């Protein structure tokens, strides 16, 4: 991949990161101050309230996971290895990178990994 294209992906990743870190920060703050519980206070069913809270917290978890992938992709841009599969070291098609700029694996390796079920769902995007 030429440096001009890489620069473009870098911009996309930085934008994604800024967007996401804002979200994660919001989630973190909210769960600390317990605003969710207040927000959901009119939900009379305790179980429903707890599960909604759990979902929101899980979203925060996923956001952090995604943020990590974006950071790693940015590192790979600095190293010049961006767009290369982390397993077989073949080029990841640009069409895929446009959809998932922080993709770590090519589709072939992803299929293998999915079969093994050894990675989190977040990595299978």
Say which residues have a Cβ less than 8 Å from residue 53's Cβ, sequence separation at least 6.
36, 37, 40
The least CB distance from residue 86 to Zn ion, in Å, is: 8
Binding flags for Zn ion, 51-90, as an x/- string (CB under 5 A): ----------------------------------x-xx--
Q: Is residue 99 within the footprint of Zn ion (CB under 5 A)? A: no
> Do 74 and 68 contact (CB within 8 A), yes or no?
no
Q: By CB under 5 A, is residue 106 in contact with Zn ion?
A: yes
- How many Å apart are CA 75 and CA 82, to the nearest integer? 8
Q: Could you give the dihedral angle defined by the CA atoms of residues 118, 123, 124 and 125, in that order, rounded to the nearest 10 degrees?
A: 170
Nearer to Zn ion, 77 or 110 (CB): 110
Nearer to Zn ion, 109 or 122 (CB): 109
- The number of beta carbons lying within 10 Å of the beta carbon of residue 30 is 17
> Of residues 109, 114, 122, 123, which one binds Zn ion by CB under 5 A?
109
Q: In the complex with Zn ion, which residue's Cβ is closer, 57 or 109? A: 109
Cβ–Cβ contacts within 10 Å for residue 21, how many? Answer: 15
Residues at the contact surface with Zn ion, assessed by CB under 5 A: 85, 87-88, 106, 109
């Amino acid at each position: 991949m030429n440096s001009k294209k890489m620069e473009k992906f870098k911009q996309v990743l930085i934008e994604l990161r800024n967007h996401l870190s804002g979200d994660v920060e919001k989630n973190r703050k909210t769960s600390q101050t317990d605003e969710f519980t207040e927000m959901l206070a009119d939900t009379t069913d305790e179980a429903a309230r707890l599960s909604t809270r759990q979902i929101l917290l899980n979203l925060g978890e996923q956001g952090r996971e995604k943020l990590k992938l974006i950071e790693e992709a940015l590192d790979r841009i600095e190293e010049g290895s961006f767009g290369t599969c982390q397993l077989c070291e073949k080029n990841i098609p640009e069409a895929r990178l446009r959809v998932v700029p922080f993709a770590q694996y090519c589709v072939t390796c992803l299929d293998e990994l999915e079969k093994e079920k050894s990675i989190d769902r977040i990595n299978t995007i």
